[in-house]
Amino acid sequence: MSANNVLLVDVDEDRRGLLSTLVEFINCQVIIAQDPDIWFEDAGDLSDIAMAIVGDCGDKHQTKQVLRDLVNNEAQIPVFQLDFPDSEVTDFPGTLGSLRLPVKYPQLSNALQQATVYRSQQEDSGQQGYDYRRLVGNSRSMKAVQQMIDQVSDSDANVLILGESGTGKEVVARNLHHLSSRREKPFVPINCGAIPAELLESELFGHEKGSFTGAITSRKGRFEMADGGTLFLDEIGDMPLPMQVKLLRVLQERNYERVGSNKTLTTDVRVIAATHRDLETHIAEGRFREDLFYRLNVFPIEMPSLRERPEDIPLLINELITRVEHENRGTVRLTSAAIISLCQHKWPGNVRELANVIERLVILFPYGTVDYDDLPEKFQLEGGELPESVTAVIEETPQRKGLQQPEKSAETSEAVATVSAIEIDALPEEGLDLKEHLANLEYLLIKQALDDSAGVVAHAANKLKMRRTTLVEKMRKYGIQRDSD
């Protein structure tokens, strides 16, 4: 492993000093991130990180956020936690281990060797491990969801996940299970709206042989299959009323019988329910039991719709492309103009709809680049002003895997500005670099159009008979700024 840097994230100055000295003693270079919010800025190229050591990041939630970011990073960084008396976070899933203070040379040297073996195994496997439980998003609403997951994951309290279809409610449920003490036990999902009412009881509680027509063998139910783990009741709002009564009894008494049996079985499961329905309206209309609602709604988590967090769309695009690549189904790249257009769509189908669009683009443009004009017509949107938080993410995200950064001109803007557009009757004897000449001409025409339009991009785009988003992309390519900038 060529990586020789050790990333240290800790707000305690004394611990940083002691660990820095020890890291240098094992012939590694220490990279200190004293501000957990921007650890990635100090870290630089993550492929050069041999391992990361995470101590106190300010509070429990911030520490978990940093650990989650490092563990889930596609660079597959080996992560170790510092074990000290006041530590609020221990044994975070995905870390390789912990370093007990005071850290000694043999302990740190052994951790580095363990990290080296881990990295080698990742390289030998030919592909990096991929975690489909990842929650993607840096928006305020998604950070609030992540914080609620951290708060309730260690508890056995029932959780009710609310939100529109396609927002990722099952992803939240899997995160809750993965971060809980039950993570070694099964996670069992069941869609309550997809199973006929007459079969739902058997699906949940199981049945004995001969208990009904077609029951040729005994069968375990989902409660029995999830014993010790988590049962995820998706679309609980579509559960028939008679079944709601039986579910309430199980939640209250923690026991049940298989269909056709009088033997009582006990259950040790954590129940997480989800629905896109308005359950309070259902209660008023007599379609959902109020007592069951309060039994499930111990800790509600509401998933925001995608239109409420457009700044997460570039990150989701990157994530979805990574999934396609991991499954060896190809890849695709999107220009900034295409991403800007997608950020303006309302996404009634939320993340599921975005995933479908990305898969369609991979099929239509395998290993190609998708520009604004290549998008399906309903997604070709322009004219709307994006929030500053969205444009900032778009400018940062193109460098990431799966997205394409606009190509930089070989000449600096100052050099290009000195070149005049000259009509050529015949090619010079020494020849002509056509690409360079056309680029210079394009630069000058864009500058002239902006000057004539007093720097108003929309007016300049009209003069040049192109879309505003296309002109913005070309301005970024040539480093042209409006006078107002």
HEC states along 422-476?
Answer: CCCCCCCCCCCCHHHHHHHHHHHHHHHHHHHCCCCHHHHHHHCCCCHHHHHHHHH
Domain end (from 331, 364, 399): 399
CATH of the domain at 449: 1.10.10
Instruction: Measure the CA–CA gap between 296 and 273, rounded to whole angstroms.
Output: 7
Q: Which one has a higher pLDDT value, 30 or 403?
A: 30
* Per-residue confidence (pLDDT) for residue 426, from 0 to 100: 54
**One domain, residues 50 and 83:** yes
Q: Confidence class of residue 86 from pLDDT cuts 50, 70 and 90?
A: confident
Final residue of a domain: which of 368, 399, 430? 399
Taking residues 191-206, what's their average pLDDT? 89
Tell me, yes or no, whether 179 lies in a domain: yes
Task: Please give the mean pLDDT across all residues of the chain.
Answer: 82
Residue that is written with structure tokens 């956020």 in the block: 65
314 and 393 Cβ atoms separated by less than 8 Å: yes
Question: For 353-363, how does the pLDDT look when each residue is reduced to its tens digit (9 = 90+)?
Answer: 999 999 999 99
Whole domain around residue 317: which residue ranges? 309-399
Q: Which domain-ending residue is among 264, 285, 302? A: 302
Residue 69's pLDDT is what? 82
Does residue 31 lie within any of the structural domains?
Answer: yes
Both 376 and 418 in a single domain?
no
Lowest mean pLDDT among 12-21, 94-103, 186-195: 94-103
Domain co-membership, 119 together with 155: no
- 278/182 same-domain check: yes
For residues 9 and 76, state if they share a domain.
yes
- 108 shares a domain with 25: yes
State how far the Cα of 361 lies from the Cα of 376, in Å rounded to an integer: 9
In terms of domains, do 77 and 194 share one?
no
Nearest to 153, CA basis, from 98, 91, 236 = 91
Higher pLDDT, 459 or 229: 229
One domain, residues 281 and 371:
no
- Kindly state whether residues 78 and 153 are assigned to the same domain: no
- In order of 162, 249, 306, the CA distances from 315 in angstroms are 23, 43, 12
User: Is the predicted pLDDT of residue 421 greater than 50, yes or no?
Assistant: no
Task: Kindly tell me the sign of the dihedral angle through the C-alpha atoms of 52, 55, 58, 59.
Answer: positive
- Give the start-end residues of each E strand in 195-269: 206-207, 219-220, 230-234, 255-257, 264-266
Average pLDDT over residues 267-288: 95
Q: Are residues 158 and 267 in the same domain?
A: yes
Contact 26, 53 (CB under 8 A): no
Structural domain count of the chain:
4
pTM, entire model: 0.61
Contact 10, 56 (CB under 8 A): yes
Which of 137, 139, 166, 161 lies closest to 149 in space, CA to CA? 161
DSSP secondary structure letters along 1-69: ----EEEEE-S-HHHHHHHHHHHHHTT-EEEEE--GGGHHHHH--GGGEEEEEE---SSHHHHHHHHHH
220/339 same-domain check: no
**Top-ranked range on mean pLDDT: pick from 38-42, 143-147, 290-294, 436-440:** 290-294
Domain contains 263: yes
